[in-house]
Structure 1
């Protein structure tokens, strides 16, 4: 298995996804036409930029090998951030999910990540 990749999911969206067996993305994902994912090295910055201060946020670890050709590695939109980001062109099946953990907010207002995320 390759290193996990991650997506940040709002609580209501994640509970709905578990009920139907797949996550179809946030409003931002739907607008852009793909699910935004991040590597372990990218996910903290993604949380800071796009989910800052949000409560009831989940960190979902995904097995990239389970996603097949629907997973593409591409530059961030507009090239604003260096490197390639994993983008999923289709729903995220629960069978590809390795783990799911809540991301509480610390006293500093930043999300508290599990120790395995650098």
Structure 2
């Protein structure tokens, strides 16, 4: 079972559970706003993503642990910046039963979002 991660705010995850599907693409943008996919990361990419796009966020985040075999929407690995590094993208809503765990994600003692190893979500 392959697992990918999505960074989420607690209130967004609560809204998704109430609505029956998760529709946030990335920070502040949803599929309802015209985004075409939900951004995700492999475990070793999460720290870099969080430190780049959530550097100013003070509140703890959640890591939605997604079992890719349970996804209803299409999953594609894509090179977003032309540098040869691919990220997983979910093209459509995230079905809640594909989320197999929700982990608290907090800054480390140095003030940065921590790096994760693949084993952290296995």
In the superposition, the TM-score normalised over structure 2's length comes to 0.79
User: What is the DSSP-based 3-state SS (H/G/I as helix, E as strand, rest coil) of the residue aligned with 2:112?
Assistant: coil
1:5 Cα deviation after fit: 0.3
Determine which of 46, 49, 52 is the counterpart of 1:46.
Answer: 49
Determine which of 59, 65, 87 is the counterpart of 2:63.
Answer: 59
Distance 1:114 1:42, change over 3 A: closer
Q: How does 1:3-22 map to 2 (within 5 A)?
A: 4-22=3-21
User: What is the DSSP-based 3-state SS (H/G/I as helix, E as strand, rest coil) of the residue aligned with 1:52?
Assistant: coil
Distance 1:87 1:36, change over 3 A: same
1:86 Cα deviation after fit: 0.7
Q: Partners in 1 of 2:11 and 2:73 — Cα distance?
A: 28
* Structure 1 unaligned residues grouped into runs of 5+: none
Q: Partners in 1 of 2:115 and 2:17 — Cα distance?
A: 22
Structure with more strand by fraction:
2
- The count of aligned residue pairs is 114
Structure with more helix by fraction:
1
Q: Partners in 1 of 2:15 and 2:23 — Cα distance?
A: 10
* Structure 2 unaligned residues grouped into runs of 5+: none
Distance 1:68 1:20, change over 3 A: closer
In the superposition, the TM-score normalised over structure 1's length comes to 0.82
The question of whether the paired residues in 1 share the 8 Å contact of 2:75 and 2:90 is answered with yes
Q: What is the alpha-carbon root mean square deviation over aligned residues?
A: 2.2
